[in-house]
Structure 1
């Protein structure tokens, strides 16, 4: 189920790469300085063959950027950088509306991406006058279009009310939106930098061309491999191609935004992905809903870190997951068969074990839900870690480990398996022990002379715990399993607090950089937090990554400590 969760989330990242790849499919793009590279508007060809913007990029206003850069450079202890940015911005922004964002829209014209920049200025000639030392004087054409040379390139500029449009060809300026704010919805000054990609604006033939090229690339890569590996690689490649093809054909919109949020004292990175309404990809996302969880108690304010996800899985996602799992299993079994480290009997045994694990994973996902949680508690002296996950048959999970232990019992360095030590509220408790070598000082500081892993198996759950007194923490997770009522909760969420983790690391081995970060966080407003939250939206999913001010201050302290250490080292020589 964790595999399924990561697989669905990867649509977001993969969608970015796929959409940009579609944009660069326009081969044979005319030269930037070719005035006649596109038909004139009077012929209608340039406009008639153009799409709406496939990509929109916005940059926050100059005032917003200066304020945000000043804030963030001050937080990390480098205020001089913010001063330099403000000075440079002031030099080149005369005539620009300092409170309006800047945008670039990219339609496809004759199949090629054609960027059009939109500057917030009521008098673009004033802006160009400021830049004459770099570009030379602007020429003015009969229709009022201005022309400047930027290096070897030619740029055409037209005043459009309180905005100016810039493009590499005069006819492209006809495609500039009359109201630029209409293409910046949810972007603009809401972020320092935002990008929106609309896949369905890419013509079908361009998308099909990309898919064909991807297939050709995979075929060429497979042809270069050893014949023994080719079969498994081909199956994995075909599965990947199908997923990418689905993304190319079914993606509707992808948006990413990066914002320095002074009021919230941190940085936000937002992302949202939606699929075409009625598509299989939309059905996959539509099947994801937050559900009550056995493991919601990992969401704790005193956690050094936790991760929790509990969601339904729709039929479309189940089908896709099982198909991917079957492909991966075939590749694994093929690799086992080709292994020189295992004899024939061992290969059969390992393949049988893999088969049982895959069967358990398959039966679990067929129940139509994913539910798991991880919790880390840490202080200056010790740590506790616990993990819990839903499975279709906890007894089978226990039996798999027992059968594995039986096969390892005669191995001299095998860990010790102690099964069915106790039953706690229907959960069988087991323990796995291994001696930590005497020469491993750091490992002994962490685990002691003996590493103990506590395992619990219930009818529908598996638990794992590591660390001093972690068994009691695992029992707390068991206790809370039936008490969750669900309610309004993200599909997935994760929080990491740096301060307790650093304190524990420092107790294991002292380090000057870690000490500097601890000192910084001791006086910060937060403990150096990173938080990730994912939610379901119609036909898709959105996520937010938040980095708090305390973490930024700690990074700045680490940089300064490193710089000081280098200076001291240089002084010694």
Structure 2
């Protein structure tokens, strides 16, 4: 059974606190590798501790019972389902006696003879009392001469050993010899920092084992490619082969991966943290290590009054440029094959589209080759107001304008084609253009949002392109240009996103109101925040980290929408 299944199974089994404790026991037995023979209760024998074993490749933790109870009570109350948290607390109080309520629970997964083998570690000084209370689920425990406890879970056998303040559980008695007397040092950065977390140490996996994994994936890739009989099979193979090479690089060069989910009561949000590091000196480390914050032309989109903004500005390493160039070229090649198979296009149309795509790709590659990425987007919204502006660094803004001009010439005789107005004015070195399109009378919501005519403002500078949509959004575009020289530092994350739901909902309500929007607005007006979602990406040595925060207001708004939907379907509740 694969490593992922070994990881997931304990949590899918933990449907209640009873199942959570019993599940850690059962999962160890159920996920037992065929490499270790099942040892039945009657034998009482155990093989010698495995000599060919690694340090834990994977460490999975659940927060302490007290933390889980408090956090689940908070979360279920926040989403209007306090009874669910109360049920969890009741079951936890009943079935976790004997467990240290303030220490995390963990699963350690070393490789034994190349196969992952899970060892559960429970914080308790008296595992016998826990097993006694679980006899209805597991049956009574047997005790071997050395004090090892043995229980049968279905057709499987689980071995348990008391190790000081911890108890270890495994599908083989030999595995218990690998359990540390104190696993807390393995929990650093996990444990009670999160409600659930894991860390994968890829370099603990022997190179031969990683090679076998890559070979299996490549075999599946080759089998899939053999089934490709379309005209663009060669282009598809080129893209897939590039993806396979990147995956192989990822498996070989990754040092560690970490994931953590935490219900954060003090800050009233749910957070998801991830981090990735590559082995120093590898091409993958060069890719991520070369990504650093840089001064930005578009940092002014980071505004407290924004309904939403996105900003990213970072250097790009030569290795990343090389990899991106290869990926883009493969993608364009595949698109060319797809165009050849498009029956609705004539030869001239195919040629025109391919030429346009090639120009866009060439511009994208040229921009990447300058070794930097810089982009910003801003949405301002409230009742009866919607404005969006976007800006990005490009290698040649004049080429952007020429591409759009050439496109306009191609479609000017098409029915319902938009109207292009080029070179209308110049503002601080940026040439202004506009695209207009009439909105059909039947599109009531679109007309209320944009008026009878949709206007898209475009600005092209020497090294930048701008776009703005919404009534009077041209002023917002000029404001972005005005502020383009203000950010001269780089003391910020390489990427960040923030969405605030309430102003977006208020604007949607002014366009077309309904009961669900009203319910969500009312929930947000009573919430501690306006429905915020934030995401931050930053560089770390040889890697990157990210954190996502989901505010309590957003949780309440989603819950209100679900409840309103259920009421509309007959009043069904959770």
TM-score (norm 1): 0.92
Does 1:517 pair with 2:520? yes
* Cα contact 2:7–2:60 (8 A) shared by 1: no
- Residue 191 of structure 1 corresponds to 194
Instruction: Check 1:141–1:476 CA distance in 2 against 1; reply closer, same or farther (3 A cut).
Output: same
- Residue 11 of structure 2 corresponds to none
Determine the C-alpha separation between the residues in 2 that align with 1:165 and 1:27: 18
Shift of 1:560: 2.7
* Cα contact 1:433–1:451 (8 A) shared by 2: yes
Deviations 1:106-141 (A, max 9, x none): 111112111000000011111111112222221110
Shift of 1:204: 1.4
Q: Aligned runs of 1:96-495 on 2, under 5 Å?
A: 96-495=99-498
- Residue 50 of structure 1 corresponds to 53
Stretches of structure 2 lacking an aligned partner (at least 5 in a row): 9-29
Determine the C-alpha separation between the residues in 2 that align with 1:379 and 1:353: 38
Determine the C-alpha separation between the residues in 2 that align with 1:19 and 1:336: 44
Instruction: Check 1:25–1:98 CA distance in 2 against 1; reply closer, same or farther (3 A cut).
Output: closer
Does 1:66 pair with 2:75? no
Determine the C-alpha separation between the residues in 2 that align with 1:215 and 1:431: 49
Residue 271 of structure 1 aligns to a residue in which SS? strand
Shift of 1:556: 2.4
Larger mean CA deviation between 270-279 and 438-447 belongs to 438-447
Determine the C-alpha separation between the residues in 1 that align with 2:467 and 2:437: 15
Determine the C-alpha separation between the residues in 1 that align with 2:565 and 2:333: 48
Instruction: Check 1:146–1:355 CA distance in 2 against 1; reply closer, same or farther (3 A cut).
Output: same
Residue 175 of structure 1 aligns to a residue in which SS? coil
RMSD: 2.3
Q: Aligned runs of 1:20-39 on 2, under 5 Å?
A: 28-30=34-36, 32-33=38-39
Determine the C-alpha separation between the residues in 2 that align with 1:562 and 1:176: 49
* Cα contact 2:47–2:173 (8 A) shared by 1: no
Shift of 1:302: 0.4
Determine the C-alpha separation between the residues in 2 that align with 1:239 and 1:372: 27
Shift of 1:286: 0.6
Equivalent pairs counted in the alignment come to 550
Determine the C-alpha separation between the residues in 1 that align with 2:5 and 2:140: 41
Deviations 1:200-231 (A, max 9, x none): 11121221122122222122222222241211
Determine the C-alpha separation between the residues in 1 that align with 2:458 and 2:242: 34
Residue 455 of structure 2 aligns to a residue in which SS? strand
Deviations 1:464-485 (A, max 9, x none): 1100111100000000001112
TM-score (norm 2): 0.92
Determine the C-alpha separation between the residues in 2 that align with 1:295 and 1:32: 62
- Residue 12 of structure 1 corresponds to none
Stretches of structure 1 lacking an aligned partner (at least 5 in a row): 1-15
